[in-house]
Structure 1
């Protein structure tokens, strides 16, 4: 038996090439134009948010999320133009997303914490904070982690789950900070003279604020010392400079004035039994 196949070029063109070619071209146009529009919309949203003076991290997150969402919609529309069942595709992507989510649940928890940090913004870039047991200046906040730069220039990356799930201390949130110092003198030193010197050193320091007023008082009669609390207020950026300068000035001035700063010691008395 002989089989004979006859191909009609015109019929092939009209039945297959022209319809499928048209659909492919339209799908490509939808994808290309959609990508351009998504990029333009993301760029416009970024400019609008920047004009609103929102945090740069929040601006970047919103613009990235908007662009990703629009691109996904464009892909769905392009595939539907090819005649594909996008409902099944969406269901397949959802099932795959669920499987990936179960496998990466720890990473997703860091992602969720990152979103919460970006939305609620308990700190911003440049703030000196203590999070997850680490202290440093906030250098970068990403979806999965927060990067801190310590005073000795180490870079520490803390997972966002550890940041948002623990106590956060922001030392830069307020414009002023109070320095809490404890200064001890020996019981044999002149208490009123020591207090007068402390008040003079604090009052004369050019970076100590007048308002709120500083506080100097006897706080404790300890085992081997009389302890003063010294609590001046300073600008947040001057905290460490003033603390170090006052510590040095107090030691030098007490030495010059003959006021003893005691150190831990033990007196041992030996009694010899007389036969």
Structure 2
């Protein structure tokens, strides 16, 4: 082979290797920079979110509003970090954003549920049908409100389950807020036998209610004979309590009724039916 040709091939190979090394080094730096921007940016976004949450808590901002705005801020910061990182890879973010804008209608149609959840979340913040710490029944679930996010509401069930309910489901149905008014009325039905002393039974129920300091004086508790049923004469017992005391008073009062009725010889009848047998004699 001609010496000049050999030298030319060697020069071309050397030049190609230099170009590959240059491109590899250049993209290596870009990729490393991209990863650093993502990692550091996400960390900074989390720090900013936590800082804003603490600042709003110090200023006694509504916890529900704090939770919602923190979720929204964190989402926006993450989007900003991703766009900033893409610029390090020479991605034309302006064109990228323009393409997203052009595709906005299609994305909106595809994400109707998510947009509805976001809109419902905004309405929940504005009108405040529920707030953090409330015990509610909404969207087919029941539990304490732990978080109101931009798309979902997180409830904690009485048996410690985590319930994630779409915001649109919460706002589209009936919302039962059990402790929004601060107080709740308990209703217990206490049945006695038809042969028992009605006045004695009512006095016993009144004493039970009066002995519990958790029961409110105003509104006054109600004890009344409500029904003469098939097997019993039923009293309805309706004391008012603070929302936090509801179940404690309910269980304790039910137990106290049974014990006091036993002590005072007042029966709690079982369901029963009188059967009359007639003998038919032929002839």
Q: TM-score band (shorter)? A: 0.7 to 0.9
Query: Which shifted more, 179-188 or 56-65?
Result: 56-65
Identify which of 199, 202, 205 aligns with 1:198: 205
Aligned counterparts, 1:139-154, within 5 A:
139-154=146-161
From the superposition, tell whether residues 103 and 254 of structure 1 become closer, same or farther in structure 2 (CA, over 3 Å). same
TM-score (ref. length: structure 2): 0.71
Question: How much has 1:89 moved relative to structure 2?
Answer: 6.2
Correspondence for 1:26:
none
C-alpha RMSD over aligned residues: 3.4
Tell me, yes or no, if structure 1 residue 156 matches structure 2 residue 153.
no
Distance 1:151 1:44 in 2: 32
Question: How much has 1:244 moved relative to structure 2?
Answer: 0.3
Give unmatched runs, 5+ long, in structure 1: 1-34
Identify which of 229, 233, 236 aligns with 2:240: 233
Distance 2:93 2:245 in 1: 64
Aligned counterparts, 1:1-275, within 5 A:
49-62=56-69, 65=72, 91-275=98-282
Query: Which shifted more, 147-156 or 246-255?
Result: 147-156
SS in 2 for 1:259: coil
Distance 2:50 2:206 in 1: 57
TM-score (ref. length: structure 1): 0.73
The answer to whether the Cα contact below 8 Å between 2:72 and 2:150 also exists between their aligned partners in 1 is no
Question: How much has 1:130 moved relative to structure 2?
Answer: 1.0
Give deviations 1:45-93, integer Å, cap 9, x for gaps: 7676445422234234335546766986xx79xx9xx9x895x766532
Aligned length: 238
Distance 1:156 1:54 in 2: 25
